[in-house]
Chain A
Amino acid sequence: MTKQSPPDTLRLVVDLNRCQNYGQCVYAAPTVFRFHGEESLEYDYAPGEAARREVERAAAACPVQAIALGAANEPSPLSAGSDR
């Protein structure tokens, strides 16, 4: 748990304008993505590091590249020392 790698850095966002509800992400990472109703994709933006492999697989499987993962290495703006 160093400052450079905060414990819980897995973050994702889905561009729901681009998403075409193919559902590959739901198969790849069922604890992170779900359909609510027939066509409404819902997902956890911060599912925890344990889900990383699943989420990476989901992002790679999305046919329209609608899933973006966090890619910053610097500490979160709320961790100590970033607000100077």
Chain B
Amino acid sequence: MRADRTVVVGASLAGLRAAEALRDEGFTGELTLIGDEPHEPYDRPPLSKAVLSGWLPADHTTLPRLRDIDAHWLLGTAATGLDVPGRQVVLADGRRIRYDRLLIATGTRARPWPEQAGGGLRGVHVLRGREDAERLRAALLAGPHRVLVIGAGFTGGEVASSCRDLGLAVTVTQRGAAPLASALGGVVGRAAADWYRDAGVDLRLNTTVRTLEGDSHGRLRRAVLSDGSTVEAEVAVVATGAVANTGWLAGSGLAVDDHGVTCDATCRVLTPDGAVVPEVFAAGDIARWPHPRYPGQLLRLDHWDNAVRQARTAAHNMAHGGHRVHQPLPAFWSNQFGVNCKSVGLPAIADQVVITQGTLAQRRFVAAYGRDGRLVAAVAVNSPRVLGGYAALIEAGAPFPPVLNAPDGPPQPTAVDAEFPRRSTAATAAATAATAATAATATAQRRPVMTAHP
């Protein structure tokens, strides 16, 4: 049979860009995009930044369509099941959509706060979609006396920063010893702690939230922290990571769990015993794959750049039955507390770090990350122009510490321990408790590495 029906499930960044790339690649068959949100594809990064702070209305985040795609759009329609042998996507309304090729691009959702610890209280928010942002924005406009942000990852920091822009009092709790520590390590993380504190955030490190408590009307009143102290707050934002949207794939016979959908390096989805399902592909936040640069592990990159690139690679292989390998140099940015932070490579695999340009205290610096004597990543803070050079060095396998002789470099660069939370144990519990069951079954080498935006 000719492969002339392609279905994309998940109509957001990866889904839209894949559909466009399929047409760019010359696919002329029938194309269907299925998305459960009742919106045209929109961009999420501004939700925690310009939208929350009020500069940009939430409905001004719609992504441009870069070309005509002549597709059937099924928006506001959730996929609820997948019949792999019968090649059909099952929709919430019972319809079945046949495919010859399928792309899974259903992304992730914010990990919810447990119901029994106050997750159902009014005033408890997560931030993933446009409606989340609108609800949270309205709650912030109501003028809460204090906002509690649970988790000091990228999203947590961006939310706290936006709240400070609005003049709101903010407490942030962070399980580890520094913000961003699981993504960028303790050295850069400690610098980030200063960004929080200088912005007036009440930052509680090595602290978790034990429970959220409400009043008799079911509205959030306060949080009880792990050290026994309490924080009075009417709004809490849970920013403790993401869970893959794989519910609709339960029972499909594909290798899926809360971490995502496992594929090979060419974006083809696998079965649990490692067999390739040649007509099913995955891209974006939901995909985990063996990146040739990082052997012995499955990578999931919950970042904008990866969604766009993986969508293109998957589309190429779908259109041509090709075997292009998805092996991008990871890259992301975050803006928080007036600081622009950009990263290339994979800091989380490093054992050492060295400041190669600027200083931590100036908030203008580049941190180079090394592992086993090779440069593996660079993080540029308020230095957006220099990263290209580092990216080239990383791709060339340059030694660490890198020899740069940058004019703004320190007189004697000293590499120090990058201070990532102990990896073998609780640290990848950035990928946490919810996934402990599946993690336990994974072998040591198959430990998932993730650099989630949340």
**Contact among B46, B64, B68, B69 for A42, CB-based, below 8 A:** B46
Between A and B, 12 residue pairs with Cβ closer than 8 Å are A11-B64, A11-B65, A13-B63, A17-B304, A44-B60, A45-B42, A45-B43, A45-B64, A46-B59, A47-B60, A77-B73, A82-B73
- Interface positions of B (Cβ within 8 A of A): 33, 39-40, 42-43, 45-46, 49-50, 53, 55-56, 59-75, 304-305, 308, 331-333, 335, 337-340, 342, 382, 384-385
Number of A-B contacts (CB under 8 A): 109
Q: Is the CB of A71 within 8 A of B65?
A: yes
Q: Is the CB of B64 within 8 A of A68?
A: yes
**Contact among A17, A36, A39 for B55, CB-based, below 8 A:** A36
Q: Is the CB of A17 within 8 A of B305?
A: yes
Q: Is the CB of B70 within 8 A of A74?
A: yes
**Contact among A13, A72, A74, A78 for B75, CB-based, below 8 A:** A78
Q: Is the CB of A37 within 8 A of B62?
A: no
Q: Is the CB of B55 within 8 A of A21?
A: no
Q: Is the CB of A20 within 8 A of B304?
A: no
- Interface positions of A (Cβ within 8 A of B): 11-13, 15-17, 19-21, 34, 36-40, 42, 44-47, 68-74, 76-78, 82-84
Q: Is the CB of A37 within 8 A of B338?
A: yes
Q: Looking at A11, A20, A39, which has the most chain B CB atoms within 10 Å of its CB? A: A39
Given the interface pairs A11-B62, A17-B333, A78-B75, the reply to whether A42 lies near B342 with Cβ below 8 Å is no
Q: Is the CB of A42 within 8 A of B384?
A: no
Complex Cα gap A37–B42 (Å) = 24
Q: Is the CB of A36 within 8 A of B64?
A: no
Given the interface pairs A16-B333, A45-B61, the reply to whether A21 lies near B385 with Cβ below 8 Å is yes
Q: Looking at A15, A16, A46, A74, which has the most chain B CB atoms within 10 Å of its CB? A: A16
Complex Cα gap A46–B63 (Å) = 8
Closest partner residue, chain B, to A69 (CB atom): B64
Q: Is the CB of A72 within 8 A of B55?
A: no
Complex Cα gap A44–B56 (Å) = 7
B214 to chain A, nearest CB (A): 34
Q: Is the CB of A36 within 8 A of B335?
A: yes
Given the interface pairs A45-B43, A82-B73, the reply to whether A39 lies near B340 with Cβ below 8 Å is yes
Q: Is the CB of A17 within 8 A of B339?
A: no
Known contacts A40-B49, A45-B56, A45-B64, then 5 further A-B pairs from the complex at CB < 8 Å, ordered by chain A residue = A16-B304, A36-B338, A71-B67, A76-B40, A83-B75
Complex Cα gap A74–B67 (Å) = 9
Q: Is the CB of B304 within 8 A of A46?
A: no
A16: chain B residues at CB < 8 Å are: 45, 304, 333
Q: Is the CB of A68 within 8 A of B66?
A: yes
Closest partner residue, chain B, to A12 (CB atom): B64
**Contact among B69, B304, B335 for A40, CB-based, below 8 A:** B335
Q: Is the CB of B67 within 8 A of A21?
A: no
Q: Is the CB of A19 within 8 A of B64?
A: no
Q: Is the CB of A46 within 8 A of B62?
A: yes
B42: chain A residues at CB < 8 Å are: 45
Q: Is the CB of A38 within 8 A of B67?
A: no
Complex Cα gap A39–B67 (Å) = 31
Q: Which 6 A-B pairs have the closest CB atoms?
A: A37-B338, A70-B64, A11-B64, A39-B340, A77-B73, A40-B335
Closest partner residue, chain B, to A67 (CB atom): B64
**Contact among B56, B70, B384 for A20, CB-based, below 8 A:** B384
Complex Cα gap A54–B332 (Å) = 28
Q: Is the CB of B64 within 8 A of A13?
A: yes
